Amino acid sequence: MARLIRQTLLTVRDLLITLGPFLLIAIGLLAGAYYVLDPAPPKRVVLATGPAQSDNAIFGASYAEELGRFGIEVTLRETDGSGENRRLLMDENEDVDLAFIRGGSGEAILAIDEEEGDWALESLGSLFYEPLWIFYRGGAIGNLAQLRGRRVAIGESGSGVPNLLMKLFHANGVEPSSMKLSRDEPPAAVAALLKGRIDAVVLASAPESPLVQMLLRTPEVRLLDFSQAEAYSRKFPFLSPVVLPRGMVDFARDLPRRDMHLLASTTMLVAREDTHPALVQLFVQAARRIHGGTGWFARTGQFPNAQHNELPLADEAERYYKHGVPLLQQYLPFWLSNLIDRMWVALFSIIAMLIPLSRVLPPLYAFRVRSRIFRWYRDLRGIEDDLTENSVPRAKLLERLDILDARAEDIAVPLAYTDQLYALRSHIQMVRERLRQAGAPQQKSPGPN
């Protein structure tokens, strides 16, 4: 049993020594490909959202929770809105990786690298409708032209809402100077509306926004009905007509009491063009889980989508919209499926390079095993040469031959090579026989009678 264990260990050692250089080359190539391709996404990412209590801030928390399941920490950064988000993404000195940007705000189309002439940002898709809510107090208002002379809060400059409103006011022939405009933050503007210090407030947010939810349920506050919503969408392609169905806010109170026509832009999830592809894939999948359900203005599966994008669509996002979740990710953990997905081309290339090298492994292994036997032939040849030259006493040669025979008997080789071991031992016996014959007394030839 001890001899069998020893033979097994020697065989394993030979295999490891033979395969060693080959494995080192393979590991080196894999390590180099891993370093160049960088398949693993970063563990921390910064997402610019929007003002506190806004719908984007709420959605940002959902993204942080979703990506946390994959071990990625999403740091949320509150901002003034789309304008500041775009600026942060374009600034190389900022650590913001992704952000929410409202379509049609005039900010997305500025996301181009002026020096290189290439797009510096990419869209991961449209996430949800962001209606333009105009809440007001007092008598009924039928269109934007009736806001002349009123006190209107149009939002902060960085939010993108003022840019959008200026386009709509211009289409209605309304000069900004004909109104008393304020740029308070949404919470302050809503508080001013409820206290009667202003006449109207403009918000652009998803219906999940707490401020929108509260105003829709406040009796003394009315919502402007964009009865010309379809016409607006024809003139401004980045706007879509949407309908808030009767009773959607509160069935028991029948709020609203009729269908309300609204204008909505779509909010995009935007990333820098150098954002890690695996990170893009995770964010798009998270967007499907967060925004893919039924909402006030969308049906199941309508969002996210590749429509209404004012920026180039990221390759990984386009792949998701065409083919869904990658096949490997449906059966393997994300880290493993992502590793294979990012490196399969490199893996096939490395395998193609290693196949020719692998052909030399069997000869190298055979050479190493045979060398354990062949090296004793040098000693055997030396004994035979000393015998021929008669320079060493035969007793000394027999002693050396016995030692060689004992060592040969102790050689451990795989079964496939035992024939060569027996050949060595038979050759030792041949030399032993020569020694005996050389040492035997020679018979004298008979003399003449």
Residues near 49 by beta carbon (within 8 Å), at least 6 away in sequence: 56, 57, 59, 60, 76, 77, 78, 79, 99, 100
Q: How many residues does the chain have?
A: 449
- Give the number of C-alpha atoms closer than 13 A to the C-alpha of residue 180, restricted to the C-beta side: 7
Q: Which tokens is 120 given?
A: 């510096």
Q: Which domains does the chain have, with CATH numbers?
A: 44-325 (3.40.190.10), 361-439 (no CATH)
pLDDT of residue 10: 66
pLDDT of residue 244: 95
- Give the number of C-alpha atoms closer than 13 A to the C-alpha of residue 440, restricted to the C-beta side: 9
pLDDT of residue 72: 93
Rounded Cα distance, 250 and 245, in Å: 11
145 neighbors 138 (Cβ within 8 angstroms): no
Residue 124: phi, psi to the nearest 5?
Answer: -100, 5
Full-model pTM: 0.68
pLDDT of residue 39: 67
In eight-state DSSP terms, residue 217 is: T
Residue with tokens 């080359």: 25
∠ CA 240-89-116, nearest 5°, is 100
Residue 278: phi, psi to the nearest 5?
Answer: -65, -35
Q: Strands 44-48 and 73-77: what pairing?
A: parallel
Show pLDDT as tens, one digit a residue, over the chain (449 residues).
Answer: 566 676 666 667 777 777 777 788 778 877 776 676 666 788 999 999 988 878 889 999 999 999 999 999 999 999 988 888 988 998 989 999 999 998 765 444 454 554 544 558 999 999 999 899 999 999 899 999 999 999 999 988 767 788 888 999 999 999 999 999 999 888 899 999 999 999 999 998 888 888 999 999 999 999 999 999 999 999 988 889 999 999 999 999 999 999 999 999 899 999 999 899 899 999 999 999 999 998 899 889 999 999 888 889 999 999 999 999 988 888 888 888 877 777 776 777 777 777 777 777 778 878 877 887 888 888 888 888 888 888 788 888 888 888 888 888 877 777 777 888 888 889 988 888 888 887 655 444 455 54
Rounded Cα distance, 230 and 186, in Å: 27
∠ CA 279-78-137, nearest 5°, is 125
| Burial label, 359 (beta-carbon count in 10 A; 0-12, 13-18, 19+) | exposed
Rounded Cα distance, 203 and 190, in Å: 9
Q: Which tokens is 293 given?
A: 């359900």
47 neighbors 63 (Cβ within 8 angstroms): yes
277 neighbors 315 (Cβ within 8 angstroms): yes
Rounded Cα distance, 273 and 306, in Å: 17
In 90-142, DSSP assigns E strands to 98-102, 121-136
Instruction: Determine the 3-state secondary structure of 314 from DSSP.
Output: coil
Taking CA atoms, 273 is separated from 90, 97, 204, 246, in Å, by: 10, 9, 27, 42
Q: Which helix (H) or strand (E) segment is 269 a member of?
A: strand 260-272
376 neighbors 421 (Cβ within 8 angstroms): no
Q: Which tokens is 116 given?
A: 């290189």
Which residues, listed in sequence order, are joined to residue 132 by a DSSP beta bridge?
Answer: 204
Taking CA atoms, 35 is separated from 40, 342, 354, in Å, by: 10, 12, 19
